[in-house]
Amino acid sequence: MQRALQLAASPGVPLGPNPRVGCVLLDPDGTVVGEGFHHGAGTPHAEVEALAAAGERARGATAVVTLEPCNHTGRTGPCSQALIAAGVAKVVVAQRDPNPVAGGGLETLAEAGIEVEHGLLLDDARGLNRAWSFAHENGRPFVTWKFATTLDGRSAASDGSSRWVSSPAARRDTHVLRALCDTILVGTNTVEVDDPQLTVRDADGGLLELQPLRAVMGERDLPAGSRVLDDAAETVQLRTHDPVDALETLYRDHGRQHVFFEGGPKLAAAFLKAGVVDEVLVYVAPLLLGSGKSAVANLGLRSIDKALRLDLVDTLVLLPDSDDPDDSGINLRLTLRPTAPKEG
């Protein structure tokens, strides 16, 4: 299974909308007779690629797959039927498929007389397709909230200026993380005030070929000439103030699985109150303002024991750019996740 996970994580595979999957075929002696991984939407699935590599040696073999073989016909046929036709004797799966459209492959295989097992290295397999798994299990995309702040929690000065709280190194890092998501979401106020383009750029400032969907929440029309309306990427306007409704629409109507949320303080508070922030990325700059816009608006919490608590997952030190006289110095990137509620 470790080898199947390595195959699934092969570089160059597009993120979404399909999961990353790897497959290894072993003969009765444990010799590898075929390997494969899914290269992206519309390409042969991992099992089919491994079966093609194995040929007749697949008969009587054990298929080790990171995700339950699909049981439906989409752009390609069902992998469960391909494994049955090839005469495999056993299928070992890490993760069951949470997608109700594609799931059920193990039952089909078992009905055909093939021995099946599942759950081997399950956590590793789920981690490989974190956002995809979450979206199908919860009916909404996984939400990563990103913001930049001074040491005293300000996202902008009292005159409204906010460029740039974060350092050039932090902004480059943001583009790397944006590229891991399929949607960048802000509110109409952010578009009106900051006029962001909401695109992903490489280290040289060039636009990447594959861009996330740009989503703007709010009922007001966007100003003509807004950069989010250019042809650099697709843009959708979600005419709602309800975060849950917006996220369900992105999942149901647009097939989105991972939202990179960069909304302002008011919208951030709405997402936090709705309980739909799954990960927090904070860039902390060595600056003090003493006043100005808070990173998040009023959450209605009057006591410290009611505070929303976060678990620190990772810390990254972003060193200053010595060639930039306006660099704000060392920035920290903190990765946090909401603390799981205590049982009972």
Q: What's the pLDDT at 204?
A: 87
120 and 145 inside one domain: no
145 and 120 inside one domain: no
C-alpha to C-alpha distance for 82 and 71, rounded to whole angstroms: 10
163 and 276 inside one domain: yes
Q: What's the pLDDT at 344?
A: 46
Q: Can you give the pLDDT of all 344 residues of the chain as single tens digits? A: 999 999 999 988 877 788 999 999 999 999 999 999 999 888 899 999 999 999 999 999 999 999 999 987 777 779 999 999 999 999 999 999 998 777 899 999 999 999 999 999 999 999 999 999 999 999 999 999 999 999 999 988 888 776 678 888 899 999 999 999 999 999 999 999 999 999 999 988 899 988 999 999 999 999 999 999 999 999 999 999 999 999 999 999 999 999 999 999 999 999 999 999 999 999 999 999 998 889 899 999 989 989 999 999 999 999 987 666 666 678 999 999 998 765 54
Q: What's the pLDDT at 208?
A: 92
Residue that finishes a domain, picked among 133, 164, 188: 133
- Give domain status of residue 344, yes or no: no
128 and 144 inside one domain: no
198 and 322 inside one domain: yes
Domain count, the chain: 2
96 and 118 inside one domain: yes
CA dihedral for 264, 267, 269, 274, sign (positive or negative): negative
The residues that are catalytic are 47
Q: What's the pLDDT at 343?
A: 53
Q: Which of 154, 171, 246, 250 is nearest to 205 (CA)?
A: 171
82 and 20 inside one domain: yes
Contact 19, 38 (CB under 8 A): yes
Q: In this structure, what token pair is assigned to residue 25?
A: 């075929």
Q: In this structure, what token pair is assigned to residue 174?
A: 């943001």
Q: Which residues contact 246 (CB under 8 A, 6 or more apart)?
A: 185, 215, 217, 238, 240
Residue that finishes a domain, picked among 71, 101, 133: 133
Residue that finishes a domain, picked among 74, 105, 133: 133
- Give domain status of residue 108, yes or no: yes
Domain assignment of residue 316, given as a range: 139-338
212 and 293 inside one domain: yes
Contact 181, 199 (CB under 8 A): no
- At 158, the amino acid letter reads S
Q: In this structure, what token pair is assigned to residue 131?
A: 């956002």
CATH number, domain of 166, equals 3.40.430.10
Q: What's the pLDDT at 224?
A: 93
